[in-house]
Amino acid sequence: MLKIENVSKTFFPGTVNERKALVDVSLDLREGDFVTVIGSNGAGKSTILNTIAGRIPQDRGQVLIDGKEISKQPEHKRAARVGRVFQDPMAGTAPNLTVEENLSLADRRGAVRGLARAVTGSKRERFAEELKVLELGLENRLKTKVGLLSGGQRQALSLLMATFSKPKVLLLDEHTAALDPQRAELVTRLTKQVVQAQGLTTLMVTHNMNQALDVGNRLIMMHEGRIILDASPEEKQRMTPEDLLHRFTQLKGAALDDKTLLQ
């Protein structure tokens, strides 16, 4: 479904600031796979999401959705097929627009022209229905400016907006990290719910080992631009956070040893 083939990305190549963010990364996701992505700071987790979304062009390799190469498509062209939620609750919504105007924009994502913000009666009813699922009472606040909502409410709305046009792929970049534990739990629960209901193929970056094991059916671990572990559903189910940390230390060490050997 989502295929990443031998993707590499180096920032500032040939300079003192050179950063190899992705080194020959390949990944194959089946329809409905929900993959959690963990790794150290600077491992390349966000960069991989950025190359799928089209925010950053890769230097080499291909990104395919349903067998179709999308690497040349600009970000806005991919938006209808690739939904995304960021860490910052401010990033996914327009604060000066109302809840219903934001939803209307999300509803029209990928459409060519038209009054994207305009909200008709039937649409309003549909939006209210969709909002009810969040259990935050936002269905009664359709005309509230989004800037007045709490971080958790905005993030829940961002999630709904990212999945509104039934994307092929959902990218979650530490989308619960900026929330307090209670709201993070709520948004995690909503995420599971929405991904399952729509059967979305999903990649979720997290620094939280418990969350990485609790959510999804597959887990990958990245280090210095490479995937160093791709845990199957069975393997993931058996793992504890301690196992995961232990594997990380082991594999990280092995990656370093390999590099030393190659020098």
Ligand X SMILES: Nc1ncnc2c1ncn2[C@@H]1O[C@H](COP(=O)(O)OP(=O)(O)OP(=O)(O)O)[C@@H](O)[C@H]1O
Residues near ligand X (CB under 6 A): 11, 19, 21, 39, 41-47
Least distance (Å) from ligand X to the CB of residue 183? Answer: 20
Least distance (Å) from ligand X to the CB of residue 203? Answer: 12
Least distance (Å) from ligand X to the CB of residue 42? Answer: 4
Nearer CB in complex with ligand X: 208/217: 208
Nearer CB in complex with ligand X: 21/231: 21
Least distance (Å) from ligand X to the CB of residue 245? Answer: 16
248 — phi, psi (to 5°)? -60, -50
CA-CA distance, 221 to 238, in Å (whole number)?
16
Nearer CB in complex with ligand X: 71/165: 71
Nearer CB in complex with ligand X: 160/220: 220
Least distance (Å) from ligand X to the CB of residue 59? Answer: 12
